[in-house]
């Protein structure tokens, strides 16, 4: 059987050896080349034509971001970044996703548990990368443009809550989806699969780019119109209702579907508190199945549900499972979802 081909780009020989062992522990994969800098990597890509490349964010002579910007227009391919969990590493990784990187793996801290988690994360993302929608590369590079000067009709929302779940490709998809969201929208709660440190920076960046207020959710925040709440990494986010107010609940219970935050946890909390009929549920690009069952529960309890279509997903995983379960009432291109939200929300 023909194996999938990977190349590793990292300036440290010991790190390359570790990543190679991890990749080749899966019998369906082989490492066909290693490079210590982007110039070696460029030649390897041309010669070996790999299916996937792993890339360190910190590289000598040319950093990973600059390399991505030069490489991907000529050789569109899934690139998995190896990132540190430092503030600098997190910032560079988010830049890499904006530049077209497929996904990232956080470098292990050195403990046995962190090594196992990083290996499992890499193998999962390697296999997901085989379904990478390369045609979206140019879209992933687009910068959010300035708001048009044309006055748009304001939506009088009756919907009280918008719930969104996303994973691989979600950072870019969310920026595009939420670009026109303003103070008239109901509270928006998002479970995006990201580790600690990443979510605070991601929320901060969105807050500077979007019209709405964007925050990393804290425990027991009263939900307010025009505000977007991002689930904190390594914590679940739920919505609660008490004395007529809606507010957040942050908890660190077991992972669900291998994730914390989990989309299912967010969606199911709205069902538990009788909020499904007053909500819109949305599932975006991502690998795996997290959120599919929760979206079905929302739908079965009166929620209007939307899913991103295959053509606009970086990975058509979570929305695919939700659609096949019958959880998605409207399957739409990413750029059409907000229009449908406004139509539904005004009913």
Active site residues: 167, 193, 290
Distance in angstroms (rounded) separating the CA atoms of residues 169 and 100: 9
**Residues 201/90, Cβ–Cβ less than 8 Å:** yes
**105: β partners:** 82
Distance in angstroms (rounded) separating the CA atoms of residues 282 and 313: 13
**Residues 83/89, Cβ–Cβ less than 8 Å:** yes
**Residues 163/299, Cβ–Cβ less than 8 Å:** no
């Amino acid at each position: 059987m023909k194996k999938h081909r990977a190349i590793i780009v990292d300036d440290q020989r010991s790190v390359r050896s570790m990543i190679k062992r991890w990749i080749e522990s899966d019998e369906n994969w082989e490492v066909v080349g290693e490079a210590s800098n982007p110039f070696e990597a460029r030649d390897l890509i041309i010669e070996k034509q790999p299916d996937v490349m792993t890339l360190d964010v910190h590289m000598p002579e040319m950093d990973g971001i600059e390399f991505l910007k030069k490489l991907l227009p000529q050789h569109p391919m899934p690139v998995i970044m190896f990132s540190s969990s430092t503030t600098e590493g997190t910032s560079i990784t988010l830049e890499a996703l904006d530049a077209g990187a497929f996904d990232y793996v956080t470098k292990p801290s050195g403990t046995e548990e962190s090594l196992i988690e990083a290996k499992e994360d890499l193998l999962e993302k390697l296999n997901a990368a085989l379904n990478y929608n390369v045609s979206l590369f140019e879209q992933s590079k687009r910068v959010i443009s300035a708001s048009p000067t044309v006055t748009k009709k304001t939506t009088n929302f009756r919907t009280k809550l918008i719930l969104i779940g996303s994973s691989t490709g979600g950072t870019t998809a969310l920026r595009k989806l939420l670009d026109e969201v303003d103070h008239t929208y109901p509270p928006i709660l998002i479970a995006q699969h990201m580790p600690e440190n990443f979510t605070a920076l991601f929320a901060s960046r969105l807050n500077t780019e979007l019209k709405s207020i964007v925050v990393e959710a804290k425990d027991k925040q009263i939900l307010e119109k025009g505000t977007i709440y991002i689930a904190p990494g390594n914590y679940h986010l739920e919505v609660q209702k008490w004395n007529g107010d809606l507010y957040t609940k942050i908890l660190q219970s077991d992972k669900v579907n291998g994730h914390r935050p989990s989309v299912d946890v967010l969606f199911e909390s709205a069902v538990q508190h009788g909020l499904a009929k007053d909500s819109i549920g949305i599932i975006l690009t991502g690998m795996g199945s997290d959120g599919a069952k929760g979206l079905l529960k929302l739908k079965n309890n009166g929620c209007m549900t939307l899913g991103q279509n295959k053509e606009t997903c970086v990975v058509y995983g979570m929305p695919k499972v939700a659609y096949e379960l019958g959880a998605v009432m409207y399957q739409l291109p990413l750029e059409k979802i907000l229009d449908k939200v406004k139509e539904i929300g005004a009913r």
